[in-house]
Amino acid sequence: MSESANWRPLFAKMEGAYAPATLRAYVADVENFEAWCVGRQVSPFPVTVDVLCTYLEDLAATSSAETVRRRLYAVRKVCRLLGINDPTYDEDVNITLRRIRRSKLVRPKQAKGLTRDYLDAFIATQPDTPWGLRNCAMLSMGYDLLTRRSELIALETRDVVKRGDGTLRVTIRRSKCDPFGKGRISFTSRKTSEFVEKWLSWRGPNIRPLFCGIYQGKAIDRALEASFVMRLVKQSARDAGVDPETVDAFSGHSMRVGAAQDLLIKGFDAIAIMRAGGWKSVEVLARYLEFAEHNVWETQPMPGGAIRPQSSR
C-alpha cells in the first residue's frame, strides 16, 4: 500500500499538460479504484490482472461502459507515473472490457438542440439589465459559433474583431479536440455583433474574459465557470415557459447541437458543419444531427469553409 499512497504527488507532473478538468477526473477515478481495493483488502498498486478484471466487472454493474473504460485509463496512468508493471494492456483485461461494452447496448444521451426558435425565445426572456446584456450576447454567440460551453467561457476580449460588414471574426484558441491550441476561426451574425457591442459598452475596457462575472453591479475581471452556461440555458428555458421535461433535456452543449441541426436543415453538408463546429469525428456529429428539427436560418459560406450566419435576428 505504500506505493499507492504516493500517486497523488506525481499528478503534479501533469499540470499544464492536461486540462484541469481532466486532472480532476483522473484523481476521482483513481480514488474510486483505491477505495474499491481498500474495501476488499487488496493492494491498489501494483495491481494484478485478476484484481483489475474483478474491479472492472464490479464497476460495470452500476456504471456505463464509458465510465469503466475511463477508470481503466486512470489506473493505466498511475501505473506509468509510478513506473510499475502496467497490466491494463493484458489480453484478459481487454477481453473483460470488450465483454462489458457488448453487454451495455445503451445509446449515448443526446442534449436537446437549442435551435433558432428556442434561441429567439430565450433571448426574449432576458431582462434589460447588465446581466441580460451579457446573457443575450452569450446565447447568441454560442449558437452562431457552435461552441462547447468550455469554449464559450474561455473566449477573451482579444479574440473578437469587428468586420467591415458588421459581423464579428472570432478566434477559438483551444477546445476539447484541440488541446494544443491550433485554434479555429469562426464568424457571427450581425445581430450577435450588436448584442456583443451592447455588452462591451456596459462592461468597459481592460477586462480579459469576453464574458465576465458581475458583482454588485460592476463587471469583474474573472471568467465565468463552465457550469454557468448550462444554468443560463436551463433558466432561460424555464423563463420562456418550456415544459419541465424539455428543460431537463437542455444542457450546456445545446446551442452547439441546435445550430448544427439548423445547418443541416438549411442544406449544408457534414464537412461544412464539421468545420464550423470544430468536429473531428463524423460519428459524433451524426449523433448531434439525428434529431434535427425543421428550423431554418439563412447562412452564407465563407472562404476556407467557415460559416457566417446572415440572420435577420
Give the H or E element holding residue 289: helix 282-289
pLDDT by residue for the chain (313 residues), tens only, comes to: 444 457 888 888 888 888 788 888 889 999 999 999 999 999 889 999 999 999 999 999 888 888 999 999 999 999 998 889 999 999 999 999 999 988 876 555 677 889 999 999 999 999 999 999 999 999 999 999 998 888 999 999 999 999 999 999 999 887 665 555 566 888 999 999 999 999 999 999 989 999 999 998 899 999 999 899 999 999 999 999 999 999 998 988 899 888 888 888 888 777 777 777 777 666 666 666 666 544 433 333 333 344 444 443 4
Question: Do 282 and 144 belong to one domain?
Answer: yes
Alpha helices in 83-129 (DSSP H): 91-103, 116-124
Question: Do 199 and 133 belong to one domain?
Answer: yes
What does the DSSP 8-state code read for residue 217?
Answer: T
Question: Do 74 and 138 belong to one domain?
Answer: no
Reduced to 3 states, what is the DSSP secondary structure of residue 183?
coil
Residue 108 lies in a domain: no
Q: Which domain holds residue 134?
A: 116-309
> What's the total number of domains in the chain?
2
Amino acid at 275: R
Question: Do 233 and 269 belong to one domain?
Answer: yes
The CA dihedral of 131, 137, 140, 141, to the nearest 10 degrees, is -130
Point out the domain boundary residue: 103, 126, 146. 103
Residue 128 lies in a domain: yes
- Residue 226 belongs to domain with CATH number: 1.10.443.10
